[in-house]
Chains A and B, each alone.
Chain A
């Protein structure tokens, strides 16, 4: 029982986004985007700057209200839920820029993920420290004092503490040194291989995404304009689509 408690258990939950539109004032950021994320799979969203990748993720976690369309998660419509309610249903979020709580220690940052958990499950899963050993050595350090790479690992670890059913990662490789990118890639494939977590990875770093992804969606001007899955993956074609 306690062994189970210290795991990242996930659940076989599916995310379905159906034809969503999002506006910032008069500017339309998302145009009829549909996307599916399955458990045990990594769904990659690719595209240049400003095509709506981050807006899409922020719409999924509920930080930006969508104008129309539906978001369905684990068989239920979550379109109208507040961000914290979505988090409590098992959506873990690793935002762009990491958004570590700067004045909390590493340990406290991890503990912020306890909110959605039952009292007996409120612990930090062993996997977090085996995936990112550096966090264990820095538990007492303030989050804001970590380097960028360490913060990125902390951000992922923090989301894992919530035992997410769906993990959303927004450019986890941005500005990170290659060895840590490798660690992060290893972590993502480990989580995928657990089989119970659906992962959405937003990236600009094509090689990284191609290595991990099971299905791919390329965005341009707020819409998905090209999609494929691992079976018919052609990196050159994706690269061409992204460059257009």
Chain B
């Protein structure tokens, strides 16, 4: 009977039974082992859920990068700052709503998502037109210039909003949690997972089925020929970069719900994002998806064994070793097409 409860308390009760008739002790022992395996199972589920959750955050942060780096081949070290701008857009939207239309607070994120996309996307287009287009074909220089840009953007936000964390609230539908078996699932994590998958699906569909998506892929594969097909390559470059930046901005809206909104927000994601993209395989959005969730889950399963920081270090070392083994990532493009 106690066994059916199957949780931590029952385990404590059973192990604390002390002197009992042998039959009871035996039954208790079998109950204990079954409860323990039950608990182990649930802790696996728990880790898997945490891993999925972390994976969705990584994917969200990396997905814009998968476009600018993976599709265009442009290293954008200011990618994290686009995420940060999205988070600050959320902050501004919430401030306006709080002071003017408090009743609308629950819709603040719905308003912030398109705004963040526009703000970050616009700045992305601006960056592409003023800096990056002069550096095509020179990836290392692009890396340095965009790093400088990230410093400027961080300092600009620090000047405008102050260096401290800014308060971004959760709307009511994102607060709270529910129980599933023996694990607790918070609504904000669940929503972020769903949101990430939705963004991913929309992006994939956009690249596959729209005219702009086709033009983007054509320009990436053969810029010169794309131009001779009548595709305005410079416009496509600007829009692609804007799209990647805009998605980073959207990521910022979601991340503002679980992370501190500060000028350093972007910094903490940039290395992880690059790891995800490189691990998954450059130029392959599905690789990014698998890469993000693999890293997220691996991280969370390593954490209880090795501790949070050592777990992270272990993951970094594993990725470094992995890249040596497969420089093109998990899902390297294969076939005659790549050799051509």
Report A's interface with B, CB cutoff 8 A.
Answer: 61, 63, 82-84, 87-88, 93, 95, 99-104, 108, 111-116, 142-145, 158, 162
Q: What are 20 A-B pairs with beta-carbon distances under 8 A?
A: A63-B227, A83-B227, A84-B227, A84-B228, A87-B228, A87-B230, A87-B231, A95-B225, A99-B225, A100-B340, A104-B214, A104-B218, A108-B217, A112-B218, A112-B229, A112-B231, A113-B230, A115-B229, A145-B335, A158-B229
Q: Is B333 a contact of A115 with CB atoms below 8 Å?
A: no
Q: Is B230 a contact of A162 with CB atoms below 8 Å?
A: yes
B340 surroundings in chain A (CB, below 8 A): 100, 102, 144
Main secondary structure of the interface of B (DSSP, over half): helix
Among A99, A111, A142, max chain B CB count under 10 A is at: A99
B229 surroundings in chain A (CB, below 8 A): 84, 87, 112-113, 115, 158, 162
Q: Is A93 a contact of B228 with CB atoms below 8 Å?
A: yes
Nearest 10 A/B pairs, CB to CB: A144-B337, A87-B230, A115-B230, A116-B230, A102-B337, A83-B227, A99-B225, A93-B228, A101-B221, A144-B340
Smallest CB gap from B235: residue in A: A84
B221 surroundings in chain A (CB, below 8 A): 101-104
- Cβ of B215 within 8 Å of any chain A Cβ, yes or no, is yes
How far, in angstroms, from A142 to B335 measured CA to CA in the complex?
10
How far, in angstroms, from A95 to B218 measured CA to CA in the complex?
16
In residues 288-340 of chain B, which contact A (Cβ within 8 Å)? 333, 335-338, 340
Q: Contacts A114-B211, A143-B337 known; A101 to B225 CB distance under 8 Å?
A: yes
Smallest CB gap from A91: residue in B: B228
A104 surroundings in chain B (CB, below 8 A): 214, 217-218, 221
How far, in angstroms, from A66 to B222 measured CA to CA in the complex?
22
- 0/1 interface trace, chain B 38-49, chain A, CB 8 Å (1 if under): 000000000000
Report B's interface with A, CB cutoff 8 A.
Answer: 211, 214-215, 217-218, 221-222, 224-233, 333, 335-338, 340
How far, in angstroms, from A144 to B337 measured CA to CA in the complex?
4
How far, in angstroms, from A87 to B214 measured CA to CA in the complex?
17
How far, in angstroms, from A87 to B335 measured CA to CA in the complex?
31
B222 surroundings in chain A (CB, below 8 A): 99, 101
Known: A101-B221, A115-B231. 8 other contacts (CB 8 A): A83-B228, A84-B233, A102-B221, A103-B338, A104-B218, A115-B229, A145-B337, A162-B229
How far, in angstroms, from A100 to B218 measured CA to CA in the complex?
10
How far, in angstroms, from A93 to B233 measured CA to CA in the complex?
16
B338 surroundings in chain A (CB, below 8 A): 102-103, 144
Q: Is A144 a contact of B231 with CB atoms below 8 Å?
A: no
Q: Is B227 a contact of A101 with CB atoms below 8 Å?
A: no
> B228, B230, B335: which contacts A144 (Cβ < 8 A)?
B335
Q: Contacts A102-B221, A145-B336 known; A112 to B214 CB distance under 8 Å?
A: yes
Among A82, A93, A103, A116, max chain B CB count under 10 A is at: A103
Q: Is A95 a contact of B228 with CB atoms below 8 Å?
A: yes
How far, in angstroms, from A82 to B340 measured CA to CA in the complex?
27
> A87, A111, A113, A158: which contacts B227 (Cβ < 8 A)?
A87
Q: Is B335 a contact of A88 with CB atoms below 8 Å?
A: no
B211 surroundings in chain A (CB, below 8 A): 114
Smallest CB gap from A116: residue in B: B230
B230 surroundings in chain A (CB, below 8 A): 84, 87-88, 113, 115-116, 162
Smallest CB gap from B337: residue in A: A144
Among B218, B225, B228, B335, max chain A CB count under 10 A is at: B228
Among A83, A116, A144, max chain B CB count under 10 A is at: A83
CB proximity of B190 to chain A, nearest CB, Å: 35
CB proximity of A169 to chain B, nearest CB, Å: 13
A93 surroundings in chain B (CB, below 8 A): 228
How far, in angstroms, from A107 to B100 measured CA to CA in the complex?
52
B215 surroundings in chain A (CB, below 8 A): 112, 115
A95 surroundings in chain B (CB, below 8 A): 225, 228
A88 surroundings in chain B (CB, below 8 A): 230
CB proximity of B282 to chain A, nearest CB, Å: 13
How far, in angstroms, from A111 to B225 measured CA to CA in the complex?
13
Q: Is A112 a contact of B226 with CB atoms below 8 Å?
A: yes
Q: Contacts A61-B228, A88-B230 known; A144 to B214 CB distance under 8 Å?
A: no
Q: Is B337 a contact of A63 with CB atoms below 8 Å?
A: no
How far, in angstroms, from A108 to B335 measured CA to CA in the complex?
18
A102 surroundings in chain B (CB, below 8 A): 221, 337-338, 340
Smallest CB gap from B221: residue in A: A101
How far, in angstroms, from A95 to B227 measured CA to CA in the complex?
12
B333 surroundings in chain A (CB, below 8 A): 103
How far, in angstroms, from A82 to B234 measured CA to CA in the complex?
11
A83 surroundings in chain B (CB, below 8 A): 224, 227-228
A112 surroundings in chain B (CB, below 8 A): 214-215, 218, 226, 229, 231
CB proximity of A96 to chain B, nearest CB, Å: 11
CB proximity of B228 to chain A, nearest CB, Å: 4
CB proximity of A156 to chain B, nearest CB, Å: 13
How far, in angstroms, from A114 to B226 measured CA to CA in the complex?
11
A113 surroundings in chain B (CB, below 8 A): 229-230
